[in-house]
Structure 1
Amino acid sequence: MKILLTLIALSSLSLASTRPNIIIIYTDDLGYGDLSCYGATAIRTPHIDQLAKDGIRFTDGYAAAATCTPSRYSLLTGKLPFRQNGTGIARGDAKLIINPEHQTLPSMLKQAGYATACIGKWHLGLGDGKAPINWNTKIKPGPNEIGFDYSYIIPATNDRTPCVYLENGRVANLDPSDPLFVSYGKKVGTEPTVKEFPDRVKVKCRPGDHHNGTIHGGVGRIGTMTGGMAARWDDETMADDLAAKAIQYIRKHKDQPFFLYFSTADIHAPRLFHPRFSGKSGLGPRGDMTLQLDDCVGQLTRELTQLKLHQNTLIIFSSDNGPKLEDAYLDGSLAAAQKKNFNPAGPLRGTKYTPYEGGTRVPFIVTWKGTIAAGNSDAVISQVDLLASLAKLTGQSIEPPHQTDSQNHLPALLDHRAAAREFLICGRRTMTIRKGNWKLINSKQPQLYNLKQDLGETKNLASQLPEKVKILQQKLQEEVKRYQLQ
């Protein structure tokens, strides 16, 4: 039966000759239980729900890690994050952690004849690390050097300096007479910082938190900056600004196959959003920002429909890691969620930063209107698999020396009845392995869970089943040793 389903799904590959447009909508800190299509009742997300209604809603879809940078690295390279140094949470002045000589998702699709674009959050480093980044010249290597024809990015995250956009390696709208300087060490410039003036912010942080640098938009950031005033972003219009750039790109490339990696800042803190969403969710700033995210998805899907591209566009929607109600900024989201008994991880244990399911099991939706039959899938699939799967879709190959952890699970992306991974590895330091329904957290004191019987990971069975622990540990060790990056 499984072979038959695979053949059925692969029969759809005759459509690959049309080279469908590919859009990855990659959200930030969105949890498994944040969307109404994943069971949330305290909030409605109609545009994202429509993606799920039109396509496949995966119940067992995973990010490669429980934090941002490693997950993004894995999605774009097809490599698990422990294989590369520097895949912790990257500083705002970190060097590029993706080797431009290695095959990537955008470079592979570019070779397949796609126009490629990266719009939104980056957080994978810039430059070669040989000298501090000069923000007043063209910065490379960066997105353009790893396969993107066009890039319009937030250099790191919306809580870090510099608070500017980079377009094709240059700070957008920078006035040469007002150069931009950034520091993650000694303070640069004379602009007020939270450390000096803690009462000047409108959103406070936890005492002693490192978001105590330059105050921009009434919010403290990590790091300091000075200059570049005309280039600075407005947090409240950021989502609309990035959506507008994405729509502009779609319009420009509507007559040729394109790949758009649309990486939102929503719903990462600081949660400063357009006033039209203020108070609309009843779940505080985080909930309001979720509504803003849903609206941006609606903006993109409406544009595809208006341009008559909706039936020739494969859309993949997911998140870089699980949720965190309040991280550094104390914006009231935690209290608002508790008041409504709302858990953004849904039935899962854990949050962002943790090795539990709530840290890495995320919304994962695939839609190709008119091609993919709608349905729910319990196939185990990882974002690391997009490289090999989309290579198969577009007729490309992944060969040595481009070693990857990516597996071709295109059948599962096209047919909700098809199976996918037999085993899954997540994490960077504290690593987990899942095989079937069994999951091992390979910590100092191992934790073993049967996810079919105990989705909430409440009963650690490691002491009762030491042989099962040993088998999973051996499999994990085999995969770790399988290859090392050069």
Structure 2
Amino acid sequence: MHKPFDTLGRLSLCAAGLAPAAAAGQQPAAPPNVIIIYADDLGFGDLSCNGSRTIATPNADRAAREGIRFTNVHTVASTSTPARYGLLTGQYPWRKPGTGIAAGDAGMIISPEQYTLADLFKSAGYVTGAVGKWHLGLGETARQQWNGEIAPGLRDIGFDYSFIMAATGDRVPCVYIENQRVVNLDPEDPIAVSYEKPFPGEPTGRDNPELLRMTPSHGHDQAIVHGIPRIGYMKGGKSALWRDEEIADRITEKALGFIADNRGRPFFLYLGTNDIHVPRVPHERFAGRSGMGPRGDAVLSFDHTVGKVLDALDSLGLADNTLLIISSDNGPVVDDGYNDRAAELLGDHRPWGDFRGGKYSAFEAGTRVPFIVRWPGHVAANRISDALLSHIDLYASLAALCGAALPEGAAPDSRNHLGTLLGTDSEGAEYVVGINLSQTLSVISDGWKYIAPSNAPARNEATDTEMGNDPAEQLYDLRNDPGERRNVAAGNPGEVARLKALLDRIKARPSRSGR
């Protein structure tokens, strides 16, 4: 296989499609490490570097000062599972059935024969790790065996090391899984999980509210773990259960361990934080600090994780040779199933920034997410870019970075925008495509956004979110109306026809051509 390094072991930026003077004009002394910190439900307006005056995120702000802060980057979906699927496979999730929000016992959605982003890095000589939230299923089918090796697992899709939560904090099983085995499991107390019916004798949030320290606002009334009702039913595994207040610390600890253990060789780390997903139970040292209740405190916890990673890279002498990307899987949600006073205590804080909608939505706040790139000495500092980009394109862009050729059929929807990612050009993508919870597709191109017609509900009443669904075609001029308040489809039939045709062409066949 072609190796993109010269005889001194330096990355050839020409092999990555860039001039040797890319970014700040220096070549890295060794293949660059790559870390993606992927927050959960973090809104564009949740970071102070994105203009929030109601919360301080000094570590994310520091990363932005030392790199590029992007203002027009989109995830591929406004919910977790499909967004993560798109990022790690380079394929739009709507091309593959079964990529909706995964149950806690879902079979593995990325199949072992798919060539993942982790496979790409392994082919380029990297050691690969995944730490934190997974939510892409495990095992061949649902109802997997939790009490031995869980296979297939992350090792089968390119990750040398993994320490994960199977799904989300609000879904059972509430245990960590390291290298495909449940951590601290007592074989005399095996785990059983069901998403169909409760286990006899096991209390539930619905039937035993007296056992709860956090009550549900909607859903979330099944198994009780440490006083918090979850989605799904579980019994056993008592010695393996996580403590919610310690999840962020445990994830961060494992991520820092992976970085330290592999500091002498190139590595790729996918770090999925649990913050700021429900149930929001930040560590005691963050509780009450934000003044906005547990949701705001969880933002501070996320920022703390970012700071620990920055500090580790600095102390290990890895900062100048590590490309760090900070983003989120989708936009924000305030009340997502628990009575944690998030809406009541929000005050003047606007997690969605200037945009409309949020998690689950086809509107901008559903998919336009925070995005920061830091690589000292190679990415210019204190830059702001409004270039249009999609998470789907990280795959091909990072392939160009490490000079790896993609096998036939790999990452079919990903396009190389490494120059934009590193700040050497500002052209950005020709288009980005998104999908909401209702499977409504949208496309953005040349400052215009088209949302396809949908008969699904216009509002998610449980979360109080505008979904962006409408039986009529929608067209928004994002350059003059970023808040999507004026549907101008009727006055711009040419743009409607162009974007509809573009979306039809993208749906018809994957392509890495174009910007």
TM range (shorter): over 0.9
Check if 1:434 corresponds to 2:444.
yes
Which residue identity does 1:163 align to in structure 2?
A: C
Counterpart-to-counterpart distance in 2, 1:278 and 1:124 = 30
Counterpart-to-counterpart distance in 1, 2:427 and 2:315 = 34
Which residue identity does 1:62 align to in structure 2?
A: H
Same amino acid, percent of matched pairs:
47
User: Measured at CA, do residues 146 and 317 of structure 1 come closer, stay the same or move farther in structure 2, by a change above 3 Å?
Assistant: same
Check if 1:222 corresponds to 2:268.
no
Structure with greater helix percent: 1
Check if 1:116 corresponds to 2:96.
no
Alignment match, 1:174? 185
Which shows bigger deviation, 445-454 or 464-473? 464-473
Alignment match, 1:241? 250
1:140 to 138, 151, 161: 151
Shift of 1:105: 0.5
User: Measured at CA, do residues 17 and 83 of structure 1 come closer, stay the same or move farther in structure 2, by a change above 3 Å?
Assistant: farther
SS of residue in 2 equivalent to 1:333: coil
Which residue identity does 2:442 align to in structure 1?
A: T
Counterpart-to-counterpart distance in 2, 1:460 and 1:73 = 31
2:421 to 409, 413, 428: 413
Q: Residue by residue, what CA displacement relative to the aligned partner does 1:309-331 show, whole Å, maximum 9, x if unpaired?
A: 11111100000000001111120
- Please give the residue correspondences for 1:31-430 in structure 2 after superposition, counting only pairs within 5 Å: 31-129=43-141, 132-206=143-217, 209-337=218-346, 340-374=347-381, 375-415=383-423, 417-427=425-435, 429-430=439-440
Alignment match, 2:36? 24
Counterpart-to-counterpart distance in 1, 2:201 and 2:85 = 35
Shift of 1:48: 0.6
Shift of 1:186: 1.5
Which shows bigger deviation, 318-327 or 420-429? 420-429
Shift of 1:192: 1.1
Normalised to the residue count of structure 2, the TM-score between the two structures is 0.90
Shift of 1:251: 1.0
Which residue identity does 1:397 align to in structure 2?
A: A
Q: Is the 8 A contact 1:214 1:225 kept in 2?
A: yes
Counterpart-to-counterpart distance in 2, 1:75 and 1:364 = 14
Q: Residue by residue, what CA displacement relative to the aligned partner does 1:168-214 show, whole Å, maximum 9, x if unpaired?
A: 111111011111111111112522111211232122212xx331111
Q: Is the 8 A contact 1:315 1:368 kept in 2?
A: yes
Alignment match, 1:448? 475
2:501 to 459, 463, 474: 474
RMSD of Structure 2 on Structure 1 (CA): 1.7
Counterpart-to-counterpart distance in 1, 2:501 and 2:148 = 49
Normalised to the residue count of structure 1, the TM-score between the two structures is 0.95
Which residue identity does 2:352 align to in structure 1?
A: A
SS of residue in 2 equivalent to 1:179: coil
Counterpart-to-counterpart distance in 2, 1:134 and 1:105 = 27
Structure 1 stretches of at least 4 aligned residues deviating more than 2 Å after TM superposition = 5-17, 188-191
Which residue identity does 2:92 align to in structure 1?
A: L
Which residue identity does 1:24 align to in structure 2?
A: I
SS of residue in 1 equivalent to 2:130: strand
User: Measured at CA, do residues 451 and 250 of structure 1 come closer, stay the same or move farther in structure 2, by a change above 3 Å?
Assistant: same
What 5-or-longer segments of structure 2 have no aligned partner? 1-16, 454-470
Which residue identity does 2:357 align to in structure 1?
A: G
Q: Is the 8 A contact 2:26 2:378 kept in 1?
A: no
Q: Residue by residue, what CA displacement relative to the aligned partner does 1:249-287 show, whole Å, maximum 9, x if unpaired?
A: 111111111111010000000001101111111111100
Which shows bigger deviation, 415-424 or 101-110? 415-424
Counterpart-to-counterpart distance in 1, 2:250 and 2:161 = 16
Alignment match, 1:461? 488
Which residue identity does 1:118 align to in structure 2?
A: A
Counterpart-to-counterpart distance in 1, 2:158 and 2:297 = 34
SS of residue in 2 equivalent to 1:413: helix
Which residue identity does 1:387 align to in structure 2?
A: Y
What 5-or-longer segments of structure 1 have no aligned partner? none
Counterpart-to-counterpart distance in 2, 1:78 and 1:125 = 18
Q: Residue by residue, what CA displacement relative to the aligned partner does 1:204-226 show, whole Å, maximum 9, x if unpaired?
A: 212xx331111112110001111
Shift of 1:399: 3.6
Which shows bigger deviation, 436-445 or 118-127? 436-445
Which residue identity does 1:449 align to in structure 2?
A: Y
**Count of aligned residue pairs for this structure pair:** 475
Q: Is the 8 A contact 1:179 1:228 kept in 2?
A: yes
Counterpart-to-counterpart distance in 1, 2:499 and 2:25 = 35
Q: Residue by residue, what CA displacement relative to the aligned partner does 1:97-119 show, whole Å, maximum 9, x if unpaired?
A: 11211211000001100000000
